[in-house]
Amino acid sequence: MRGTFERRRAFTLIELLVVIAIIAVLMGLLLPAVQKVRAAAARMKCQNNLKQIGLAMHGYHESNNRLPYAVSYFQPGEATASYVTGWILILPYLEQDNIAKKWKQKLPRNSSDDSDGDGFTNAMLQQLAIQTYVCPSMSPPNGTTGGSLGRGLENRAPSSYIFCSGTATCFDATYGPAAVLPSDGVIVPIRNKSIAADPNQGDVAGNYPVSLTQIPDGTTNTLMVGECDFKPAGVPSNFGPVWAYGYLYNWSGTGSGFNIRDGNPSANFGTFRSEHTGGGNFLMAGGSVHFFRDSINPDTFKALGTRAGNETTSVD
């Protein structure tokens, strides 16, 4: 006896189109939500980075009775500029003592000297990415050389944070009118000379590392670290922060504003910028982390950069 069966009816074209349309609508609804979750996670990771950096800064202060400098052109008694950064100084307090011990502070960042036989040179170490120094929202540079990434095969590792040295940008404090003025922030550059040119090797304008007791404006109202990126003109470039070379590339001031992307020299060499939606994260001298909106008043932002400006400014 021949069996009977029903033929399965196939989907019609209209039914398939309806299903595809429903899937497209669902994806359209879900994608923004997924992007928001990712952005929130990146912002939280960035804030955690800054909290860890804050703990490291305070750990350094506890050991040395002062905060680290932003950069010191020459180490004491040396005739060769090494531009050691404060980011190098706080590495032991970020569980990166293995790098700190191998870094030769009396030698330039691109030195290939391995006379101590540890198998590492500054030229090698400067290429290491330190995750605590990188915000996940930051777009990578558009290459591995040129600009702040170095010449030839230096390939300095990019970072996402810069010290606040006051109101003058690092460019102005190096090449502009502020080059002969003391810095008014908490993490100051030591723009000194070689031992041959100046036996005292002090900063040209008297800068000296600041202690937490030397902040009359209050540690909760004074910036210590903020975000920066490699998009000074709005698109990826090779100008941005690097942790291993302090000449112009990992400290700046609040005087030029926040999230300025016009490609001017101050923007190229360290205006505070962030790729988080709506603003950026900042670390105060007291260790708290705050999210500043893009719309922050420029005068308020500038005032937050000073340690003793006597402004009536608060982050709250």
| Residues 305, 300: Cα–Cα separation, whole Å | 9
> Within 10 Å of residue 234's Cβ, how many Cβ atoms?
11
Torsion sign across C-alpha atoms 288, 289, 293, 294: positive
| Lookup: tokens for 308 | 């003793």
Q: Is residue 36 part of a domain?
A: no
pLDDT at 310: 83
Q: Is residue 39 part of a domain?
A: no
- Compute CA 65 distance to the chain's CA centroid, rounded to the nearest angstrom: 24
Is residue 157 predicted with pLDDT exceeding 90?
Answer: yes
Phi-psi region of 278 (alpha: psi -120 to 50; beta: other; left: phi over 0): left
Give the range of the structural domain holding residue 98, as residue numbers without chain letter: 49-303
Domains of the chain: total: 1
Least confident of 31-40, 106-115, 304-313: 31-40
Is residue 3 predicted with pLDDT exceeding 60?
Answer: no
> 316 with 221: CB under 8 angstroms?
no
Phi, then psi, of 190 in degrees rounded to 5 = -105, 95
Q: Is residue 313 part of a domain?
A: no
Q: Is residue 166 part of a domain?
A: yes
Percent of the chain with pLDDT over 70: 94
Torsion sign across C-alpha atoms 249, 244, 107, 83: positive
Neighbour order of strands in the sheet with 189-190? 84-85, 71-72, 189-190
Percent of the chain with pLDDT over 90: 79
pLDDT tens per residue, range 141-150 = 999 889 999 9
Amino acid identity at 160: S
Is residue 7 predicted with pLDDT exceeding 90?
Answer: no
Q: Is residue 96 part of a domain?
A: yes
Q: Is residue 219 part of a domain?
A: yes
What is the rounded average pLDDT for all residues in the chain? Answer: 92
pLDDT tens per residue, range 185-202 = 999 999 999 999 999 999
Q: Is residue 88 part of a domain?
A: yes
pLDDT tens per residue, range 69-95 = 999 999 999 999 999 999 999 999 999
For residue 34, name the pLDDT band (cuts at 50, 70, 90): low
User: Between 73 and 313, whose confidence is greater?
Assistant: 73
State pTM to two decimals. Answer: 0.88
> 229 with 274: CB under 8 angstroms?
yes
Q: Is residue 1 part of a domain?
A: no
Mean pLDDT for 120-133 is 97
